[in-house]
Structure 1
Amino acid sequence: MDEVVRRDVEHAHGDTRMISALAAPRRTSAGPAVLLLHDAFGLSDDMLRIAHDLARLGFPVLAADVWGDRTLPTTQEEIGPLIGSMVSNRSRWTARLDAALAAAADQPEVDPEQVVALGYCFGGSSALELLRTGGRLRGAVSIHGGLDLLEPDADWSAADPEAHVLVCTGADDPMATAEHRAALESGLRRAGVDWEIDLYSDTRHAFTSPHAKNSPTPDAVAYHPRSAARSWAATTRFLTELFPTVRPVEH
């Protein structure tokens, strides 16, 4: 018997149908969980594999369909307007994230008081925004998040001061420069949130993404396997520190 349960979870934000995906250990009690927020390419097979890997570690995961209708953009011409539609209307952005968090909390496998948001690229920015705006989270993990999408003078007062933040980013990421990191750090300090920034040398944006392996702009976007492995190790360590009773599922 497969010890990981999988199912689609349909929910909505306004007129947008969101077809998220659950991957969870097969068990009878609710437990600490992860809200997985996808990168610019949508809820792809890559994101679903991450959800499955986390479920094997013992965490129920709702992989959110933030774009809606399982939209899977493949070009910058498609991606730009999708990200722009969120950043130009932050209330829409946060409402879409709130809808995903509510859908996660509704799942019987999920303890709604024990959720961490984990995101990649645009999803990393989203995880931080969800925490900043008062999302009911124990923590947020941003993997090569676009810190340039965050407002430099953003108000973090709605964030839970008991939450924890992990940011894994490249030292040479043009979308997460030293200035962007300093602005984020300042906001987290003001909010009293416990934070950690892991900075990887010779590493650029999207360093975990298979889409970045043949990047046409390697000075800005590039796959980096060592940094990808380090960020995964940091993420799993962060989760086990927060939730030490969670155990991997049996093979």
Structure 2
Amino acid sequence: MTEITTRDITVEHDGEALFGLLVAPAGARSRPGILLVHDAFGLGEDMIAIARRLAGAGYAVFAADVWGERRTPADEAGIGPLIGGMVADRERWIGRIAASRDAAAAQPEIDVDALAGLGYCFGGSSLLEYLRTGGRLRAAAAIHPGLDLVADGWAAARADTEVLVCVGADDPMATAEMRERLHAAMSGAGIDWREELYSGTVHAFTSPKAAHSPNPEVIAYHPRNARRAWDAAIALLSETLPLPHVAAA
């Protein structure tokens, strides 16, 4: 079993402390890295478990704290104002993703030329917005992103990023019209993209917190498609960020 090391990293942005977390194989140096961007519930135990799982596979992971001060809202009453605040000030929103990306790239465990992104829900939307505005990542996987949060206009996007989007066919936050608009925008920007679309699946399908959702037509856990999305994300990472055959001592 791979020994894992963790380190808290504070990123200052717009007068607020963002408490990120580095999770990597012990003794790792300059390894393929992943910028992990949390869902609407913040950088809590679920996201840290994903970071540890990725580190166990050999990646060096920087788990971002977009909400700041490692807030972990418990319900829609806490989540709504946070998302609304970011959407209302996109410069601040994307600035936090960019600052987190730069903090990740500055860590000795991470190879700056082999850095990808993985985002869930709001985190997936965040990565797409970051890329739309010219963000630098080798690859990015957006798992059930809210496409309703992603703005139009991809002229600034870089064509050297590969993108994976995994969405539920019945997700009201990623409708067919929204998906088609995103496809056209990414194709127009020259981005190599792929999509996995899951039938009978709505929003937040990877989140165990959604297992007993009061609104299953909007949010519901789908364990089979959660596994499929994970496998698809790992396939993208393996293809674009091949790991060394021998782990660092």
Q: Could you say whether these structures have the same fold, taking a TM-score greater than 0.5 normalized by the shorter chain as the test?
A: yes
Poorly superposed stretches of 4+, deviation over 3 Å: 245-250
Q: CA deviation at 1:167?
A: 0.3
Residue in structure 2 matched with residue 135 of structure 1 by the alignment? 135
Q: CA deviation at 1:245?
A: 3.5
Normalised by the length of structure 2, the TM-score is 0.96
Residue in structure 2 matched with residue 236 of structure 1 by the alignment? 234
Distance in 2, Cα, partners of 1:200 & 1:240: 22
Residue in structure 1 matched with residue 76 of structure 2 by the alignment? 76
User: Structure 1 residues 237, 247: CA separation in 2 closer, same or farther (over 3 Å shift)?
Assistant: farther
Q: CA deviation at 1:131?
A: 1.2
Normalised by the length of structure 1, the TM-score is 0.95
Residue in structure 2 matched with residue 198 of structure 1 by the alignment? 196
User: Structure 1 residues 174, 7: CA separation in 2 closer, same or farther (over 3 Å shift)?
Assistant: same
Residue in structure 1 matched with residue 149 of structure 2 by the alignment? 149
Residue in structure 1 matched with residue 15 of structure 2 by the alignment? 15
Unmatched segments (≥5 aa) in structure 2: none
Equivalent position SS for 1:97: helix
Distance in 1, Cα, partners of 2:246 & 2:206: 23
Equivalent position SS for 2:40: coil
Distance in 2, Cα, partners of 1:114 & 1:156: 23
1:77-96 paired onto structure 2 within 5 Å: 77-96=77-96
Q: Deviations over 1:113-162 (max 9, x none)?
A: 211111000000001111111112111110000011112xx221222211
Distance in 2, Cα, partners of 1:77 & 1:211: 16
User: Percent same amino acid at aligned positions?
Assistant: 52
User: Structure 1 residues 248, 193: CA separation in 2 closer, same or farther (over 3 Å shift)?
Assistant: farther
Q: CA deviation at 1:2?
A: 6.0
Residue in structure 1 matched with residue 156 of structure 2 by the alignment? 158
Distance in 2, Cα, partners of 1:70 & 1:248: 34
Distance in 2, Cα, partners of 1:135 & 1:142: 14
Given residue 136 of structure 1, which amino acid in structure 2 is its aligned partner? R
Distance in 1, Cα, partners of 2:108 & 2:41: 28
Unmatched segments (≥5 aa) in structure 1: none
Root mean square deviation of aligned Cα: 1.5
Q: Does 1:33 align with 2:33?
A: yes
Q: Deviations over 1:227-246 (max 9, x none)?
A: 00000000111100112244
Given residue 168 of structure 2, which amino acid in structure 1 is its aligned partner? G
Equivalent position SS for 2:184: helix
User: Structure 1 residues 248, 20: CA separation in 2 closer, same or farther (over 3 Å shift)?
Assistant: farther
